[in-house]
Amino acid sequence: MFILICLCSWSLAGVFSESVSVMEEESLTLNTGVTEMQHDDLILWTFGPLLIAKINGKDNKREFYDEKFRDRLKLNNQTGSLTITNTRTTDSGLYTVTSSRIEMPLNTLNIIVYAHLPVPVISSMSSQNLSSSGSTTSKCSLLCSVVNVSDVSLSWYKGNSLLSSISVSDLSRSVYLHLECLDDSYSCVVNNPISNQTQHLNNTQLCQPCSDFIHCCGPTEAVIRLALSALVGVVAVAVLVYDIRPRHLQQRREQTSPSNSE
């Protein structure tokens, strides 16, 4: 039973991997999971199917193989841990460390290296609208965009409240978010799981102040405001009718009372 449990544990260790995230240009150390190498041990590191480094416990001899990691790999002579310096996004992938003394891998790590995020760019788009009266009105909208990004979210915020967001897993073109009804409390944020960049909106520099809320706001908000205005009007009329009707009834009673008939 003990042997069976050990075999199951080794099998699970080979299936599951630890996920580690890091920003590019940072250093990252991948641990073997052992505190000290044995004298007869040979530690090997692979990146995907490729052997990239090994260290011999007998003479601490280190060897590096993949040119992609040229001068960026270091091996610890006590534990066999691997350090990657000046990480790049192309370093993302599955790393496995094995020992010549153990059949199953000592450790597997899924590394994700994120690129530095650009600051979002906010730009204005003006358009001319023809109203029902025949007059022309201007409408200003803002776009928030980022270029050449992947695994990010791009979001509009009003203060701390999220208004809209879009997620991008892989992109080599611009991502745009549209915004209307503007003031200085808005900001555009691009973020990945470990970092973010924010651009705050200075509305007065990009758009002229709106003089008509229907032209300032998008159609949804305009419809909501008109519906509220109509509801207020209906309530006001109902109150007025309710107030006038009792007065009219009172006048009719006074006209038909006995004293008036005499």
Same domain, 53 and 91: yes
Residue 218 counted as domain residue: no
pLDDT at 222: 47
Classify residue 37 by its DSSP letter: -
Q: Which residues of 33-42 are buried (b: 16+ CB within 10 A; e: fewer)?
A: ebeebeeebb
H helix intervals, the chain: 2-15, 203-206, 213-216, 219-256, 258-261
184 vs 111, higher pLDDT = 111
Say if CB 189 and CB 197 are below 8 A apart: yes
pLDDT at 252: 60
DSSP 140-195: EEEEEEE-S--SEEEEEEETTEEEEEEEESS-SS-EEEEE-S--TTEEEEEEETTE
Same domain, 137 and 44: no
pLDDT at 156: 87
144 vs 29, higher pLDDT = 29
pLDDT at 15: 44
Same domain, 87 and 13: yes
Same domain, 22 and 38: yes
Same domain, 32 and 17: yes
pLDDT digit string (tens) for 122-135?
887 765 555 555 55
pLDDT digit string (tens) for 248-260?
555 666 656 555 4
Residue 224 counted as domain residue: no
- As a whole number of angstroms, the distance between CA 51 and CA 64 comes to 8
Residue 23 has pLDDT above 70, yes or no: yes
Residue 90 has pLDDT above 90, yes or no: yes
Average pLDDT value over all residues in the chain: 76
pLDDT at 2: 38
- As a whole number of angstroms, the distance between CA 204 and CA 194 comes to 32
pLDDT digit string (tens) for 172-210?
556 666 776 566 678 899 999 999 999 988 765 666 554
For residue 233 the two structure tokens come to 């009007």
Residue 167 has pLDDT above 70, yes or no: yes
Range of the domain at 173: 121-211
Residue 240 counted as domain residue: no
Say if CB 124 and CB 141 are below 8 A apart: yes
pLDDT at 16: 57
Predicted model pTM? 0.64
pLDDT at 143: 81
Residue 203 counted as domain residue: yes
246 vs 103, higher pLDDT = 103
Domain boundary (79, 94, 114) is at 114
- As a whole number of angstroms, the distance between CA 5 and CA 7 comes to 5
Same domain, 93 and 163: no
Domain boundary (77, 96, 114) is at 114
The domain that holds 65 is classified in CATH as 2.60.40.10
Number of independent structural domains in the chain: 2
Same domain, 91 and 166: no
pLDDT at 251: 60
The single residue listed with the structure tokens 């995230």 is: 21
Same domain, 81 and 128: no
- The pLDDT-based confidence of 61 (bands split at 50, 70, 90) is very high
